[in-house]
């Protein structure tokens, strides 16, 4: 498993004009990613990753303490599909709405066909008959590659500021 390379304020090593063009493309990608999850269409979620893509959720505190792993969700699209199917079957899933709000996408580098980027996120949750609350806030630490002209994630590390119980992290961020 790839180790997390966590640095909130990582210096950029990419030409500004190129960063801007890639940012647009990543914003389009993320808008589709979020719309898929906000529609509860989690069975389509693994398609945003490469076949062997890594998805991981870790608290910022764990990362800064140098703890080796967080809550690994899935390594490889097969594991994501299994997980997504299991979640989709549960009845627990229906009665809540999720809404992603993203901001400040920063393209850090592009080398060897790999694009590294970070994006701040807020994940809002609305329970039936309940208020809308902030479920999770943090930063996506992403590595993208291009597959058949489309971007795919080879790695999305979700590093959240929010203190949260592992049980509450069952759904993809």
The two tokens of residue 17 are 């004009």
* Contact flag: residue 141 with a second copy (CB under 8 A): no
Q: Which residue has the tokens 């992290």?
A: 169
* Beta partners for residue 55, in sequence order: 74, 156
* Contact flag: residue 105 with a second copy (CB under 8 A): yes
* Contact flag: residue 9 with a second copy (CB under 8 A): yes
Closest CB to a second copy among 64 and 82? Answer: 64
* Contact flag: residue 168 with a second copy (CB under 8 A): no
Helix (H) or strand (E) holding 60: helix 60-64
Closest CB to a second copy among 1 and 12? Answer: 12
* Contact flag: residue 34 with a second copy (CB under 8 A): yes
Shortest Å, Cβ 13 to a second copy: 13
Residue 44 carries which DSSP code?
S
* Contact flag: residue 67 with a second copy (CB under 8 A): no
* Contact flag: residue 170 with a second copy (CB under 8 A): no
Residue 69 has φ and ψ, to the nearest 5°, of -125, 160
Shortest Å, Cβ 124 to a second copy: 5
Residue 136 has φ and ψ, to the nearest 5°, of -160, 140
Cα Rg of the chain, angstroms = 16
Shortest Å, Cβ 75 to a second copy: 25
């Amino acid at each position: 498993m790839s180790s997390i390379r966590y640095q909130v304020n990582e210096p950029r090593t990419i030409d500004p004009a190129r960063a801007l063009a890639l940012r647009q493309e990543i914003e389009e990608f993320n808008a589709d990613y979020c719309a898929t999850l906000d529609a509860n269409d989690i069975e389509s979620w693994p398609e945003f990753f490469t076949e062997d893509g890594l998805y991981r959720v870790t608290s910022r505190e764990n990362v800064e303490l140098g703890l080796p792993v967080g809550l690994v969700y899935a390594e490889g699209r097969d594991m994501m599909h299994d997980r997504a199917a299991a979640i989709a079957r549960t009845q627990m899933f229906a009665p809540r709405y999720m809404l992603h709000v993203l901001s400040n996408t920063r393209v850090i580098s592009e080398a060897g066909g790999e694009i590294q980027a970070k994006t701040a996120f807020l994940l809002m949750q609305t329970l039936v008959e309940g208020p809308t609350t902030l479920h999770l806030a943090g930063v996506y630490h992403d590595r993208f590659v291009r597959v058949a002209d489309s971007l795919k994630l080879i790695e999305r590390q979700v590093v959240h500021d929010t203190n949260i119980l592992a049980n509450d992290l069952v759904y993809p961020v």
